[in-house]
Amino acid sequence: MLEDGDDQETQVFLSALSSFYQYSKVAHFNTTHLRRQSFYALPRSHIELLSSPPFSYLDTLEEVDNAIDKNAEIAQAILTSGLQSPDLDSEVSLKAKAEGKDWRGLATSNDIERARSTMRQLFRDWSEEGKPEREACYRPVFDALAIEKSRHPEAKLRVLVPGAGLGRLVFDLCCAGFDSEGNEISYTQLLTSSYILNSCSEARIHTLFPWIHSFSNHRTRSNHLRSVQIPDINPRQVLGSSKDAGRMSMSASDFLLLYGSEEQQGSFDAIATVFFLDTAPNVIRYLEVIRNCLKPDGLLINVGPLLWHFEGNAPGIHGKEKDMDVDMDCTGIAEPGSFELTEDELIVLVERMGFTIERRDSNINAPYIHDKESMLQNTYMASSWVARKI
């Protein structure tokens, strides 16, 4: 993933490691320490009232601290796995220290929030309780590929999953007999997926408390403190027992830069964009690259809403954190220019970019890291469509 002399990429990788290193300290501070300060600022009579059952507020904060400690075990496991990565050789580490940058302190508040969000995503991708979410979004992909497989019964179809996140769809496609390749730009997610796929020794080895960081909209304290076991399967064991499994790989790169190249032209039978197209500042560039790396007659299978990720950003700053170097590389997704389309407009654009729409389904109930017991219910009404490269 890292190339010698690539200072910017080295720092991003080390910042991702740092975000997991700092998770425990920051989570305890933000979630319980500040609340204890606020609690002890109350009038004494209020403190006494809330300290007794059924509130027992201080006991609750103690339980939350214990839950954070369990989450921190996952963060530590991801960190340990990442430190053993060939991408973190002694030369990289010594170079960072020589510049006065101990990697443990490199993570910004944005990096740490990204790590926390990524660990919550383990609920969606790698817990039994997250299966309904996966089913809603992955089923259209498998249905479309099953139809395509029937057209080419002897072929081993090659499928690309850009924005692969924690790798569950890539893994499931591989187990289903497809040669699957995932692409992800976030080192935070790559470190996490690498740990789950390559280093977890057994199923349900970790306890994750996905809702612990927020005290809002809980009907009961038991729901606030509810945990799940991850991963729901042992990936290596499942893959080893799959008779017709395909090949699986992950690439760590900017989707536009890697797959827009001449070397990738016509490489894939299908591309599955699940909750991905709306991450584009300029979706035309995404579609150009998709068209480039699809074989003639290949399929683009899309599932998701249109939550345009860079909406509201000032012109030219998408892809840049406010605390990042202003001289950062502005190629790939960081290219200037952005716009947002409606779903109907996006469909027209897809057709004008050299595809024909074969199937389209709207109003798919698609929750995302969804607490079904919460008093706040946000669920996407996603769309799914299948387009064939002309």
pLDDT for 313: 74
User: How far apart (Å, rounded) are the C-alpha atoms in residues 250 and 182?
Assistant: 5
pLDDT digits (tens, 9 = 90+) for 79-121: 999 998 765 555 555 555 556 567 899 999 999 999 999 999 9
Q: Is pLDDT of 131 > 90? A: yes
Query: What average pLDDT score do residues 128-153 get?
Result: 96
Which residues are within 8 A (CB) of 259 and not within 5 positions of it... i.e. 6 or more apart?
160, 162, 183, 267, 289, 290, 292, 293
User: How far apart (Å, rounded) are the C-alpha atoms in residues 327 and 361?
Assistant: 43
Confidence band, pLDDT 50/70/90 cuts, at residue 332: confident
User: How far apart (Å, rounded) are the C-alpha atoms in residues 317 and 326?
Assistant: 9
- Tokens 């817990």 found at: 127
Q: Tell me the average pLDDT of the chain.
A: 91
User: How far apart (Å, rounded) are the C-alpha atoms in residues 22 and 31?
Assistant: 14
pLDDT for 258: 96
pLDDT digits (tens, 9 = 90+) for 189-235: 999 999 999 999 899 999 999 999 999 999 999 999 999 999 999 99
Confidence band, pLDDT 50/70/90 cuts, at residue 31: very high
pLDDT for 95: 58
pLDDT for 3: 42
pLDDT for 314: 57
User: How far apart (Å, rounded) are the C-alpha atoms in residues 260 and 331?
Assistant: 12
Are 271 and 255 spatial neighbours (Cβ–Cβ below 8 Å)? no
Query: What average pLDDT score do residues 49-69 get?
Result: 98
Query: What average pLDDT score do residues 137-150 get?
Result: 97
Are 169 and 138 spatial neighbours (Cβ–Cβ below 8 Å)? yes
What percent of the chain clears pLDDT 70, i.e. is strictly above it?
A: 90
SS3 270: strand
User: How far apart (Å, rounded) are the C-alpha atoms in residues 286 and 349?
Assistant: 12
Confidence band, pLDDT 50/70/90 cuts, at residue 15: very high
Query: What average pLDDT score do residues 310-337 get?
Result: 64
| Peptide bond preceding 162 in cis form (omega within 30 of 0) | no
User: How far apart (Å, rounded) are the C-alpha atoms in residues 304 and 216?
Assistant: 27
Does an H or E element contain 146, and which?
A: helix 131-151
pLDDT for 9: 81
E-assigned strand segments in the chain: 158-162, 179-184, 206-208, 228-230, 248-252, 268-274, 294-304, 355-367, 379-389
SS3 309: coil
Q: Tell which residue, 197, 208, 153, 143, has the closest CA to residue 171.
A: 197
Q: Is pLDDT of 318 > 90? A: no
Q: Is the dihedral of CA 259, 260, 266, 268 positive or negative?
A: positive
User: How far apart (Å, rounded) are the C-alpha atoms in residues 224 and 218?
Assistant: 6
| Helices 90-98 + 7-28 axis angle, to 10 | 80
Q: Is pLDDT of 11 > 90? A: no
Are 138 and 274 spatial neighbours (Cβ–Cβ below 8 Å)? yes
Q: Is pLDDT of 14 > 60? A: yes
More confident residue, 273 or 332: 273
SS3 33: helix
Query: What average pLDDT score do residues 307-326 get?
Result: 63
Confidence band, pLDDT 50/70/90 cuts, at residue 328: low
User: How far apart (Å, rounded) are the C-alpha atoms in residues 161 and 168?
Assistant: 10
Least confident of 41-45, 59-63, 334-338, 355-359: 334-338
SS3 364: strand
pLDDT for 118: 97
pLDDT for 132: 96
User: How far apart (Å, rounded) are the C-alpha atoms in residues 142 and 170?
Assistant: 12
Using alpha carbons, list the distances in angstroms from residue 32 to 130, 137, 143, 260.
27, 35, 45, 47
Query: What average pLDDT score do residues 26-38 get?
Result: 98
